[in-house]
Amino acid sequence: MTPRPTAKELAGALGINANTVLRAMRELRNEGVLEFRRGRGVRVSALSPGAAEVTELVRRLVTAGDRHGYRRAELVHMIERFG
């Protein structure tokens, strides 16, 4: 197995701050592009094409629901009505 660079090593290679690398990695995780596995590191997700777009739409839906006072169960119920 090929060793993967740490965030610190990647930051050094790119000439940027390690916190910037970590922030970008968290954003990619939130978009479904990366998977963080405790004790095993980070890997590229095996999501199907278009999954990143749908993940972003879901994130926006949850954010809007929170802003307008909807509970997660209410959002799920709304989604199920369209299915």
Residues 39 and 58 grouped into a single domain: no
Q: How many domains would you assign to the chain?
A: 2
Confidence of residue 55 (pLDDT cuts 50, 70, 90): confident
57 in the same domain as 31: no
| Same domain as 31, residue 12 | yes
Q: What is the pTM of this model?
A: 0.52
Q: What distance lies between CA 68 and its chain's CA centroid?
A: 23
Percent of the chain with pLDDT over 70: 93
Alpha-helix runs per DSSP H in the chain? 7-14, 18-30, 51-67, 72-82
Please give the residue range of the domain that contains residue 75. Answer: 51-82
Among 33, 25, 34, 64, which residue's Cα sits nearest to residue 51? 33
Percent of the chain with pLDDT over 90: 40
Cα–Cα dist 28/80, whole Å: 27
Collect all residues with Cβ–Cβ distance below 8 Å to 53 and sequence separation of at least 6. Answer: none
